[in-house]
Amino acid sequence: MSSAQGVVTAATGPYLEKGRTVKGEPVPAQFHFHWDNAIWAHVEPNDGDIVVASAYKSGTTWTQNIALKIMGQDIETNLNDVFPWIDMDPCDKIEKRLPFNTLEAKKEQLSQLPSSPRFLKTHLDLENLPFFDNVKYIYLSRNVKDVGCSIYSHYCSFTDMALELMNLPKPPSFEEFFTRWVQDGYPFWPYQAHVASWMQAKDKPNVLFVHYDKMKKDPRGEIARIATFLEQDLSDERLDEIVKATSFETMKAQQEVFEPPSAFFKQGKFINKGKSGAWKDQFTEAMITEHEQELQKLSPEVAKWLETGEMEE
């Protein structure tokens, strides 16, 4: 974990650059696309910066929208314009097709963002992200079984162009996908390890852990908790407005505002079902057993958080 005074170096962690090794092991080709921390060397932390972080499929877009609404901000055109994922790492082919994702373009975007509050999204684990004491971090997690269902739908929503650019095969069956993904994160990155990384910061006063299941069960209560963390005193009326404005139904109807500005996803597929417990309709007994075996490899603290949304005392 880097300190506020530390200097972040480019692409120091796993799944970042072509040809790199991690702990002596070559980085698999499928991980080249996803993220690179080089941009963070150009981030000067401002008091009031808000970073929403997650591995993936844990309510990231939802929470970005909530944070914006709490801070009184609107999305005029696209979420990425005001709340960018700055450490997305385009491979060479993607960079040519999506020039807004080059390092220079992201540096320019950073310079155009408001100084306070400034909103940033990251999918970096904590070992690869500079940690600043004057920045507020909201870290998101979800039941791993539901993440598996959601990330598979995400994979299936990629267009043929996206699959080609990322050098990914057509999605296999869900059972085949889950068996590989739950072990090493293929074709993305390991979910449980990402959560374990961030768990190191759970007691930091400028870090708030939020669990998807709790957000679904009590959106008003969790939004109020996020508002308190962001030091915003919301009236009951304003809180109700934010609950409605950030509901699944509202966001689904405004999907084009939240979709990444590219042809990566099939139309209308970026926001999917937005529900908890979907795994109950999709998991076989064998898949449940696989999940439980992987869960046993985690620390009790991480396992309890992922399964229940409760922290160990």
Q: Which residues are catalytic?
A: 123
Half-sphere exposure of 91 (CA within 13 A, CB side): 18
Question: ∠ CA 245-63-151 to the nearest 5 degrees?
Answer: 115
Residue type, 270: F
Residue 115: Cβ-neighbour burial (10 angstroms; 0-12, 13-18, 19+): exposed
CA distance 21 to 128: 15
* Count of other CB atoms within 10 angstroms of residue 292: 11
Pairing of strands 119-122, 50-54: parallel
**CA proximity to 187, closest of 217, 154, 213, 215:** 154
Classify each residue of 253-264 as buried b or exposed e, where b means 16 or more C-beta atoms within 10 Å of its C-beta: eeeebbbbebeb
Pairing of strands 119-122, 136-141: unpaired
- Helix then strand count (H, E) for the chain reads 15, 6
